[in-house]
Amino acid sequence: MRQYIRHPSCMPVELHIAQQPSQQQPLHDISLGGVACHCEQPAPVGSTIDMHIPLPQGDTLHHGVVAWCKADADGYLIGISFKDQDSFFHIRMIEQVCAIEAYRRTLEKVLGRRISGEEAAQRWIQENAADFPQMSAQTMH
């Protein structure tokens, strides 16, 4: 049984894993436990990894560890856990942004009109924020 709910994401990130060249890849999903990304090459469990995330308000860099690696149809899927609390909180914010964007797209289909990101965020917070899993010190270990 999965410990954390995973939310799909296709946000592009740049990964640098141990001695491998950097790779630009989409995130596969995000959860409280970390993120999963597609990679062209396998990555040994325990390898250090730097994940660069380009964002409109400024790029970020997070240092993590390869938690797991498994082959898939497009190469490999690797799980990344993060070493520091700031990375967990930042990834948590990205997870919420992804949830709100998915909610916005669903609202547009249901309502048959364009929905701004701000309107979607306000509605999502009112309807879902209380049910969104809370992050605590225990979830970061």
CB 51 within 8 A of CB 13: yes
Read out DSSP for 14-30?
A: EEEETTSPPEEEEEEEE
50 plus 89 within the same structural domain:
no
Q: 0.75 cut: is pTM over it?
A: no
Domain that holds residue 42: 7-82
What is the pLDDT, as a whole number, of residue 6? 46
34 plus 17 within the same structural domain:
yes
Nearest to 82 by CA among 10, 140, 122, 15: 140
In a domain, 57, yes or no: yes
28 plus 67 within the same structural domain:
yes
CB 78 within 8 A of CB 26: no
141 — pLDDT class (breaks 50, 70, 90): very low
> How many distinct structural domains can be found in the chain?
2
Last residue of a domain, one of 42, 67, 82: 82
Write the CATH number for 42: 2.40.10.220
In a domain, 15, yes or no: yes
72 plus 114 within the same structural domain:
no
Summarised one tens digit per residue, pLDDT across range 69-114 is: 999 888 899 999 887 777 767 767 776 777 788 888 899 999 999 9
Summarised one tens digit per residue, pLDDT across range 16-40 is: 887 776 777 777 777 667 788 888 8
